[in-house]
Structure 1
Amino acid sequence: MSNVYDLLQERGFIAQVTHEDEIKKLLSEKSVTFYIGFDPTADSLHVGHFLQLMVMAHMQQAGHRPIVLIGGGTALVGDPSGKNDMRKMMTREIVQHNVERFKTQISRFIDFSNDRAIMVDNGDWLLGLNYVEFLRDVGVHFSVNRMLTAECFKSRMEKGLTFLEFNYMLMQSYDFLVLNRKYDCQMELGGDDQWSNILGGLELVRKSDGKSVYGMTFTLLTTSEGKKMGKTESGAVWLDPEKTTPYEFYQYWRNISDNDVEKCLALLTFLPMDEVRRLGALTDAGINQAKAILAYEVTKIVHGEAEALKAKDAAEAIFGGKGNSENIPFIEIKAAELEAGIKITDLLLLAELTPSKSEARRAVQQGGVSLNDNKITSFDYTVGTGDLADGEIMLQKGKKSFVKIKVV
């Protein structure tokens, strides 16, 4: 069995590990069952989750068995890690809806056939717990003094950490104990913001059952300036094509900073590292080619080859004067609406190029909006039939965002 630890290290995934030598030995000698948790706090996964799914895919390809833990129970409490404010409380109905959405999305990345991977929901064991028994069996093993020094609580201490959130570490730790007992799960993996929670789980398994288990965290997806990746003006970059279209998804990766290309190719594609290093070393026009390869490869993994080709084609049609213009994102409006006239701010909103009218006004004021290459200078501008060119209108915001307006 090839050692996936070396592969993850070479590609830049690994941030911290609990027992490096033991983990290397374990992963090279046998098939290991490991888990990663995903709290369904939204109805779609985003690009931050995608990095974790890539780790899972590499581990599975190396012969290890993933457990995808969906936090149907923990999402009702909310993880304080990396948060300055308490998370919004969600109803069980919303959490359950999100759980189903996550299950569908994750099945595209991980092979669940023939017991090669398992998907579980921690609501199955957390929601029926007896509180006093839980305190006696689990709470007894946790030192409050030690918990208060954990990184995941520090940022919440200033505004006030609720007792609700304080329980999150115990619940996540209990997940590891349950999975170890039920499936012989020996490793918990997660983003580096989960380090304190993972250590809590290791300690609980050791103190409760006397077993050795292990933890590993991976780097968070950040830019070279240290900012979290996956955020745009209109919000998060989602894996759901209804929330972030494959074209928008492609364009996000096509437009990242030159300094982030090699890192993203290593973390978010399956390209061999020799090729990753070659592409990352390119400059000028070459680095743009590397970005196009990155955008295509990531979009192919998330949305499939057909959608990736369409997005690539649309981008080439707009920016390179080649490719199929039919693949450019478009919206349809009725001829009568155009004849009556549509305010430019309303059209930007309709085309989802801005999240609000105030953002639309700002984009126009800053000179970032054009119709058929003609800059619009007033946010009172009314778009009408006179703006049609070959029966269509090309609406542009900034340098990179285009939507074609088709009249029906």
Structure 2
Amino acid sequence: MSIDQTLFDDLEWRGLIAHSTDRDALRAALGSESVRFYVGFDPTAPSLHMGHLVQVLTARRLQEAGHTPHALVGGATGMIGDPRDSGERTMNSADTVAEWVGRVRAQVEPFLSFEGPNAARMVNNLDWTQGVSALDFLRDVGKHFPVNRMLARDVVRKRLESGISYTEFSYVLLQSFDFLSLYRDRGVTLQFGGSDQWGNLTAGVELIRRADGGKAHAFATPLLTKADGTKYGKTEGGALWLDPEMLSPYSFFQFWLNVEDEKIGELLRVFTFLSRSEIEEIETSHSEKPFLRTGQKVLAEHVTSLVHGADETARIQAASAALFGGGDMHGLSPETLGAALRQAGVLRVEGAESLPTAVDLLVETGLAKSKGDARRTVAEGGAYINNVRVEDPEHVPSRADLVGGSWLVLRKGKKSFKGVEVV
């Protein structure tokens, strides 16, 4: 099996190493042998989000370079949740966590290969945690953790005044026990995660040293922020979920299509598998003509294809082209079209047998301020239904006009459009 000796340099160029244990030792290990590594995902929600995607894609980079992934879904740690600045987490039931373990696992699996000499393995920390008694855990793991060091962790220090439960305070012991268990049972010597996990990552390395005299490595990926320094990962509707039931693929695509020009290079490095020369060429082209939004288009296409598949991305692009550039609406997927129209705004109408006139639809969707305004829009040739110009203000759409049996696309001018959903 061939090991990519340039992996560490590529990770650094992509900005994926914010912190690391001994850099030279880690570089040497990644460049000389197939390292067994793990990255963990706690099922504290029914879906992964943008932040998790950084870790999933980093795991894929390591596997493609010849290293062996162990993707951990935390059936045990997910019962507790890593402490956070805002306060105690809501404890989810065992049944809920078990369901979310399955959902998160299904999201991670498509990104990794489970065949070949460095085949990935999915693991659940509940398997090695549930059989350990509290007394054994305190004797074998707890004794290696100085309380003063646990208190020095940023998130713990911030929570001391408002209060932190012993349960969340002890989370670092559980994550470190995961690393020790995988080190002992699977020969795993590297863990990585987000920079907010750095204290947990190094605690695991230290536990392996104290408990077994072993040597392990860790690195942390950076926290991604917008140009103004605020966190990424949010859309108008909430988190940038990977589950299409929680965030439509169209909305997911639009998020990437609307990122700031200043962040294009950084996000292309982190979220795509384009080569260095390809990314630098896109950056140059984008900087010369940013109004063409070349970088955003490439980014949206690549990331959406990775998460939702190339076919879904093609459907989204077809819907966008039809909405903004004309063309036949009837060939579009009604699900994709519906997601796009819901972002723009939707008027719901009951019954397809007596639809409002074009003028009434313009007013009721808000595209026209009044019937007089709507009539002027029609007279000036600026009103469209399903990309067909409306010639008669009293025109009434028919059932045959409905895309997918439910949708009309009402447009005023080139860019203002609304959806009409017939129920």
Matching of residue 195 in structure 1 with residue 198 in structure 2: yes
Residues 7-406 of structure 1: pairs in structure 2 closer than 5 A: 7-81=10-84, 83-114=85-116, 116-281=119-284, 282-283=286-287, 284-286=289-291, 288-321=293-326, 326-327=332-333, 329-330=337-338, 335-336=350-351, 371=365, 373-374=367-368, 392-394=407-409, 404-406=419-421
Matched residue SS, 1:72: coil
Asked if 1 retains the 8 angstrom alpha-carbon contact of 2:349 and 2:420, the reply is no
Report the identity percentage: 38
CA distance in 2, matches of 1:164, 1:278: 50
Per-residue deviation, 1:394: 3.6
Matched residue SS, 2:39: strand
Partner of 1:364: none
* Residue type at the aligned position of 1:11: R
* Residue type at the aligned position of 2:44: T
Question: Quick check: 25-34 or 235-244, which moved more?
Answer: 235-244
Per-residue deviation, 1:310: 0.9
CA distance in 2, matches of 1:17, 1:370: 58
* Residue type at the aligned position of 2:304: T
Alpha carbons of 1:85 and 1:337: their partners in 2 closer, same or farther (altered >3 Å)?
Answer: farther
Per-residue deviation, 1:323: 8.3
Per-residue deviation, 1:176: 0.3
CA distance in 2, matches of 1:336, 1:118: 52
Per-residue deviation, 1:133: 1.2
* Residue type at the aligned position of 1:330: G
The C-alpha deviation readout for 1:20-50, integer Å capped at 9, x for no partner, is 0000000000000000010001111111111
CA distance in 2, matches of 1:229, 1:375: 36
Give the TM-score normalised by structure 1. Answer: 0.83
Partner of 1:345: none
CA distance in 1, matches of 2:161, 2:169: 14
Per-residue deviation, 1:102: 0.9
* Residue type at the aligned position of 1:113: E
Per-residue deviation, 1:277: 2.1
Alpha carbons of 1:395 and 1:58: their partners in 2 closer, same or farther (altered >3 Å)?
Answer: farther
Per-residue deviation, 1:372: 7.6
CA distance in 2, matches of 1:326, 1:64: 42
Alpha carbons of 1:375 and 1:251: their partners in 2 closer, same or farther (altered >3 Å)?
Answer: farther
Partner of 2:342: none
Per-residue deviation, 1:132: 1.1
Matched residue SS, 1:336: coil
* Residue type at the aligned position of 1:210: G
Question: Quick check: 115-124 or 198-207, which moved more?
Answer: 115-124
Alpha carbons of 1:270 and 1:89: their partners in 2 closer, same or farther (altered >3 Å)?
Answer: same
Matched residue SS, 1:88: coil
CA distance in 2, matches of 1:400, 1:84: 41
* Residue type at the aligned position of 1:150: R
CA distance in 1, matches of 2:416, 2:45: 25
Alpha carbons of 1:404 and 1:38: their partners in 2 closer, same or farther (altered >3 Å)?
Answer: same
CA distance in 1, matches of 2:367, 2:233: 29
Asked if 2 retains the 8 angstrom alpha-carbon contact of 1:71 and 1:123, the reply is yes
CA distance in 1, matches of 2:188, 2:415: 46
Asked if 2 retains the 8 angstrom alpha-carbon contact of 1:152 and 1:196, the reply is no
Alpha carbons of 1:326 and 1:158: their partners in 2 closer, same or farther (altered >3 Å)?
Answer: same
Larger radius of gyration: 2
CA distance in 2, matches of 1:401, 1:215: 50
CA distance in 2, matches of 1:388, 1:159: 60
The C-alpha deviation readout for 1:133-177, integer Å capped at 9, x for no partner, is 111111111111111111232332231111110110000000000
